[in-house]
Homo-oligomer: A and B are copies of this chain.
């Protein structure tokens, strides 16, 4: 690859990153549905025409944002070695990046009316779920695929439910929740198949 080509590619990626940063800010402020390509271009200090050189439409920008959020979540999930950490996250609600969470809430709201966004959300969940099951299978080789799926699904419900509930004040004692979450984790991953 020529030096010129490499420099051009780097410039392209940098510009793409700038658009994503501006779009995230814009979507957080106005919502996906209300934010226009014109607002987005203005936020990125680019012309609408320039934006279209990088993304064919607003949905393509949302797709790239979701892709990056899922990449970082998969990375984080694979990096943590135990579920003790997970019980802590759930009980103290020390969840993921709160800006990412708000954007995913936006994706969820939009998914209820836009089939393309619903498809994006389904693909993202599929990818996250697959990685989580692979990890759980490696840690619990004796478990059947069915049991792994069910246990991972319940963990996903707990993680997504906690993200949602973080929007309202915590009403239970985190210490007490921690103990209960540890019991639930044992139930999901330490008990025999039943």
Contacts and interface: CB of A to CB of B under 8 A. Distances in A.
Contacts of A167: 108, 111-112, 118, 121-122
Total identical chains: 2
Contact of A172 (B121, B152, B173): B152
Contacts of A126: 168-169, 171
A146 interface: yes
Contact of A122 (B111, B121, B154, B168): B168
Contacts of A187: 180, 183-184, 187
Interface string A53-73: 000000000000000000000
A160 interface: yes
Main SS of chain A's interface residues? helix
A156 interface: yes
Which of A102, A105, A170 is most buried by chain B, counting CB atoms within 10 A of its CB? Answer: A105
A179 B164 CA distance: 25
Interface in A111-156: 111-113, 118, 121-122, 125-126, 129, 146-147, 149-154, 156
Given A112-B167, A183-B191, 18 more contacts: A31-B31, A31-B32, A102-B112, A111-B167, A121-B167, A122-B168, A122-B169, A126-B169, A146-B172, A146-B176, A149-B172, A149-B173, A149-B176, A153-B170, A153-B177, A154-B181, A160-B164, A160-B165
8 contacts: A28-B112, A31-B110, A125-B169, A153-B170, A153-B177, A154-B177, A179-B194, A184-B184
